[in-house]
Structure 1
Amino acid sequence: MLEEAFQAVYTKFKLHFYQKVFQRFASREATLTTVESFCMEGIMAMGEPTIAEFSRMMQISTPNAAYKIGSLVKKGYVEKIQSTTDRREYYLRPTQKYIDYYNISYSYLHTVIERARKRFSPEDLAKLEEMLTIVSDELMPELDLTAGRQRAEKDALPPEGQH
């Protein structure tokens, strides 16, 4: 039963995301291919990774990753930010153009969270948050997303528009 419940929630979030992606294709607003959308999802999740970090996480070659990133840069969805500590290294930062795209797609997450806040007690919500954090941090070690975020914080990247 737990597997079915988890799968149902996961599937509904995926389907909602796909609906938003395909709506953009139908209305000709989409400038991202489906693969590029997935790449941007990975970059957002990783928190300003390098191309090498991105390629390792996605399990694709660095040249393939660099090609995909180059296309995203040309389309204005990603910018490369030079490291302040190692001038040879660049971080991938989603632009405001992508963040606006992302926020439309992820408004559903916020809708579901608000519905949960109305439906469940603060204690139940705290327990759900605790359980989801444990699942993410401890039970999914293959997908460690903290490296890029921690490094970006350490490197003190300037805020958008100040580079």
Structure 2
Amino acid sequence: MLHQAFNEVYTKFKLHFYQEIFRRFQDREASLTTVETFCMESIMALGRPTVNEFATFMCISPPNAAYKVNSLVKKGYIRKVQSPSDRREFHLEVTQKYIDYYNISSNYMSEVMDRIMARFSPEDCGKLEEILTVVSRELMPEVPLPERTEE
């Protein structure tokens, strides 16, 4: 039952995102391909990776990663920022254009979180936060993310 419930929630988040993306395609607002969307979500989650860090995480060759990055730079979704400590190294930063695009899913997530906090007690919300934190930090070691400060 837990497996089914978790899968249902995860699927609903994905499907909502896809609905919004396709709505934007109909309105001709979207300019990212499916693969580019996956790349952008990964770059955003990695928090300013280098091209090589991105390539390693995605398990693709550095030239393939560079090609994808250059396409995203041309479309205005990321920029390369030179490292002040190693001038040969560039970090990938998402632009406001992508943040606006990304907000399609994060706005819905915030809406659902508001509903959770209204529906459940602070104790239940605290327990859910504890469980999700353990799942992320301990039970999903294959997907390391940079530590985030509280938002």
**Bin of the TM-score, shorter chain as denominator length:** over 0.9
TM, length-normalised to structure 2: 0.94
SS at match of 1:91: strand
2:120 is matched with 120
Across the aligned residues of Structure 1 and Structure 2, the Cα RMSD in angstroms comes to 1.4
CA displacement 1:107-162 (0-9 Å, x = unmatched): 10000000001000001101100110100000000100128x79xxxxxxxxxxxx
After the TM superposition, list the runs of 4 or more consecutive aligned residues in structure 1 that deviate by more than 2 angstroms: none
CA distance in 2, matches of 1:31, 1:4: 34
Q: Which amino acid aligns with 1:2?
A: L
1:22 positional shift: 1.2
1:105 positional shift: 3.0
2:65 is matched with 65
CA distance in 2, matches of 1:65, 1:19: 28
CA distance in 2, matches of 1:21, 1:38: 13
1:80 is matched with 80
SS at match of 2:5: helix
Contact kept, 8 Å, 1:17 with 1:106, in 2: the verdict is: no
CA displacement 1:61-80 (0-9 Å, x = unmatched): 11111100000000100000
CA displacement 1:36-77 (0-9 Å, x = unmatched): 111111111111111111111111111111100000000100
TM, length-normalised to structure 1: 0.87
2:9 is matched with 9
CA distance in 1, matches of 2:69, 2:23: 24
Unaligned 5+ residue runs, structure 1? 151-163
2:53 is matched with 53
Contact kept, 8 Å, 1:82 with 1:89, in 2: the verdict is: yes
Q: Which amino acid aligns with 2:5?
A: A
| Total equivalences in the alignment | 149
CA distance in 1, matches of 2:20, 2:7: 20
Contact kept, 8 Å, 2:17 with 2:104, in 1: the verdict is: no
CA distance in 2, matches of 1:31, 1:136: 31
CA distance in 1, matches of 2:106, 2:23: 14
1:143 is matched with 143
SS at match of 1:146: coil
Q: Which amino acid aligns with 1:125?
A: C
Q: Which has the higher contact order (CA 8 A, sep 6+)?
A: 1
1:25 is matched with 25
